[in-house]
Structure 1
Amino acid sequence: METNPVVVAGGGPVGLVAALALARQGVEVIVLESEKAIPRDLRAGTFHPPTVEMLDALGVGGSLLEKGIKVPEWQLRDRSSGVVAQFDLGLISDETPHPFRLHCEQHKLSQIVHDALTELPNARVLFSHRCTGFTQDGGGVSISVETPSGPEEIRASYLVGADGAHSIVRKTMNAEFEGFTWPERFLVFATPYDLREQGFTGNAYVADPDEWCAIFVQPHEGPPGIWRIAFPTQPGMSEDEILSEQFVQSRIKGFLDPDQDYEIAYRSVYRVHQRVASTFREQRVLLAGDAAHANNPLGGMGLNSGIHDAVNLAEKLAAVLSGEEPQDCLDRYVRQRRQTNIEYVQATTIRNKRLLEERDPDIRQERLDEMRKTAADKDKARAYLLNSSMIASVQRARQIQ
């Protein structure tokens, strides 16, 4: 029986969920988070049905549901012709108790999970503690930690790297982050203007060769919520140009009323990657979430796949620590989660982006027509929803031995 704790580097939602899943199975766990408090990253905010089910099993799904907005229907639109297809997740209600996309900022999940961890005697979350590297041997992992009182070393049985796309854990492993970075940056801003007044569902994607966009409602003080909108920008633009009031207003006026100015609650710009680590494991060190894979946000799969990593890994790691499974069981985690990420998350998010931005008019029309046919055929729509809701990817992962 291992006596040292499992250490999780990274106190975002993936690291915290991994810690909670381990702690609920009796594993002693320590989370190292470099920030002074829960990070308030506003990028991710969509939870798919199987993710909510996993959070239910950990006892925190209900709290997230109370804070979020249920979005049972979503649209694909064309900039010039309007609605192309509208999908209703009620078609897969026999597959999940949560036939909707749940919209809620990821930091709210982090706070809920953190609060649950504070109630467990075998879990600790250490803020202002940053993993700076590690060494390992057959008996465990020695982790270098930067703390408010200076450098320290923590001895762990295993180390889980959930420390984001710039992961120190992955870099120390010398694992390659294979893939590419999209040339354009994404502008994301929010407005309290209610897009439902213009016929939008709570989640919508607007196709256009130059100004495609992704739209989704988020909880806010009072109804009807706040609407987050993501646009591509030209590679040569400076950050100041992208974030300027004139440019932001030009984006939203491009598909709403051009004679109206819109209140903008916040705005940000960031680069988008499509990458997967060459391996998710080096002996007693494992990767999860953005440390293991990164993708564009079209489809809301990044955060969800990271939580799927966390729950999958915790199940196997707890079994290894209890002696129920050999250490090689962790290689199955790598096979299941890495392969599924490549087959589903990377493939689907790349396909989503190319659908929205296609420039060739014939190919563009062909793809939009195919989406119309899919939405109009109940069986095809159901199959499409099983994939886009990530139910199919979770089922596929279970099949991989």
Structure 2
Amino acid sequence: MDSSSSGYPFNKAEYYRLIIIVGAGPSGLLLALLLAQKHIPSVVLESWPHLDTRLRATQYGVPATRVFSRAGILEDIRKASIAKFPSICWRRVSDHEKLISLDLSLVEDDPDRMTILPLGEIIQILYRHCLERGKGMIDVKFNHEVTNVGQDDKSAYVDVNIKGDEKAKEARLTADYIVGCDGASSAVRRSLFGRDWPGQTLPYRFVVQNVYYDGFQKHNWDGGNYMVDNDHWGLIARRGKGGLWRVTYGDPVTGLTDEEYLARRPAHMKAMLPGHPDPGQYRIEQTNLYNIHNRCVESFKVGRAILAGDAAHVCNPMGGYGCMTAVLDVGGLADCFIGYYHGLADEDILDKYAEVRRDIFVKYVDPRSIKNLNRVATSDPHTVLETDRFFGILKDLQQDKNDMRAFLLKVSSIEYDFTKHYNSNQNGVIL
């Protein structure tokens, strides 16, 4: 992919888009697609020469599924996904006994059901839709590294290093708004706040790998399996066709090199995988290691610069809140931009986005993700079923299938409908 892969000519003296989106990850591409559906043009700037293929999210809750449907990508995600994801359970590592489970077969025919697909594949689907459906509306530019963000009363800009075969070029691109969707290492956030990003780095090293192992089928494992143990905790889940599983665990020892962490992997895998296999009995095809954080920026909006997704906040992945919350951020931000540009809302709806989405992260996402982590990593595996409040709720719901189905499909407290702030008496302007 070259520095102007969408095929549109670049002339820095004339180039202007209503919105500059920094980052061609899931948040940036999804936002561009939602805006293009309502005739709002954007340019997406990506510092890398290619799309992200790292092992990250694979499971997206009902709220995210609804946004995928709005964006017109859900059908393609379902086609690429596994046909069935029957349950999520919590297992004790010492004996692999199921402690409790969620029966997802109750909603297997509902269009809003959970979505399962590695994030790298979703990014590919998003990019293809941007190219095919966003012609004239979406311009994705790779090798465009944002180095600075600035603004005045009427517009905002980014300074960009454009990397190519020859010497890197510098340019300044101007827009009405800059949206940082450039992940946890966000250049937009750093330009606004420097190194100030309140929160905590958690005392674990996350090791994530794609695994092929016939023991899963042999021991009748399926769906998602949260592993509860103080030393070997994590998530083991079926994630793709052809026997693909994702094994994620947190190593409680800190300060090692990546090589030292990987040397400890066979012991984790032997404890966690059914049948307690040795390394020669399973195949690992890809591995990524991460530090994990729970952090949130002080404000999602500074003038004409706006943050969304991991650029604004991050949380540990236990429970799948990270990418789901990012999807809801850009779904909400898209509605705010649509309302503003189509004359349905005043400009202060963008301030409402910043206020509400930050409040949701601080009040709900951050504490819940910590509880999800502690449930598997620090609880007593032999008493957690009786002491954990969430497990108590699940036990009550298991008494009635209708109650469980309603629970699985409910509108979540992390969702928010920004269209209720539209002014219905204004005339819409079609761009």
Q: Which residue of 2 aligns with 1:164?
A: 183
2 CA distance for matches of 1:12 and 1:80?
38
* Residue 76 of structure 2 is aligned to residue 57 of structure 1: no
1:190 Cα deviation (Å)?
Answer: 2.4
- The residue aligned with 1:18 is 31
Say which of 303, 325, 332 aligns to 2:323. 303
Q: Which sections of structure 1, spanning at least 5 residues, go unmatched?
A: none
1:83 and 1:360 mapped to 2: Cα distance? 15
Instruction: Label 1:259 to 1:72 Cα distance change in 2 as closer, same or farther (>3 A).
Output: closer
Distance 1:161 1:292 in 2: 8
Partner of 2:88: 74
Distance 1:381 1:344 in 2: 26
Distance of aligned partners of 1:229 and 1:183 in 2 relative to their CA distance in 1, 3 Å threshold: closer
Share of identical aligned residues, percent? 26
Using the size of structure 1 for normalisation, the TM-score is 0.89
CA contact 1:335–1:400 (8 Å) conserved in 2: no
Give 2:225's match in structure 1, choosing from 204, 227, 238. Answer: 204
Residues 195-249 of structure 1, C-alpha deviation per residue, up to 9 Å, x if partnerless? Answer: 24323232110111111121112214xx3323333232411332111123xx222
- The farther-off stretch of 367-376 and 314-323 is 367-376
Give the alignment's Cα RMSD to 1 decimal.
Answer: 2.7
For the Cα contact (< 8 Å) 2:112–2:409, is it kept in 1? Answer: no
- Please list, as runs of the form range in 1=range in 2, the aligned pairs for 1:31-110 lying within 5 A after superposition: 31-69=44-82, 70-81=84-95, 82-91=97-106, 97-99=111-113, 101-110=114-123
**C-alpha spacing 1:385/1:173, structure 2 compared with 1 (3 Å):** farther
Q: Distance in 2 between matches of 1:355 and 1:386?
A: 24
Distance across 2 between alignment mates of 1:384 and 1:185: 34
The number of residue pairs the alignment matches comes to 393
2:336 pairs with 1:323: no
Alpha-carbon distance in 1 for matches of 2:359, 2:290: 27
1:273 aligns with 2:293: yes
1:238 and 2:257 correspond: yes
Contact 1:103 1:217 in 2 (8 A): no
SS of equivalent to 1:74: strand
Q: Give the stretch that moved more between structures: 328-337 or 27-36.
A: 328-337
Q: Provide the C-alpha distance between the structure 1 equivalents of 2:131 and 2:329, rounded to a whole number of angstroms.
A: 22
| Map of 2:265 onto structure 1 | 248
Q: Which stretch shows the higher mean deviation, 228-237 or 277-286?
A: 228-237
After superposition, residues 342-381 of structure 1 pair within 5 angstroms as 342-358=362-378, 364=384, 366-367=386-387, 371=391, 374-375=394-395, 377-378=397-398
Whole-Å Cα distance in 1 between the matches of residues 101 and 382 of structure 2? 22
Unpaired runs of 5+ residues, structure 2, are: 1-15, 422-431
**Is the CA contact 1:92–1:382 (under 8 Å) kept in the aligned structure 2?**
no
CA contact (8 A) 1:375 1:381 kept: no
Normalised by the size of structure 2, how large is the TM-score?
Answer: 0.83
Kindly state the Cα deviation for residue 303 of structure 1 after the two structures are TM-superposed.
0.9
Contact 1:374 1:381 in 2 (8 A): no
Instruction: Answer with 261-270 or 224-233: which moved more.
Output: 224-233
Partner secondary structure for residue 204 of structure 2 = coil
In structure 2, give the amino acid aligned to 1:97.
P
- How far apart in 2 are the matches of 1:42 and 1:263? 16
SS in 1 for 2:365: helix
Letter in structure 1 aligned against 2:304: R
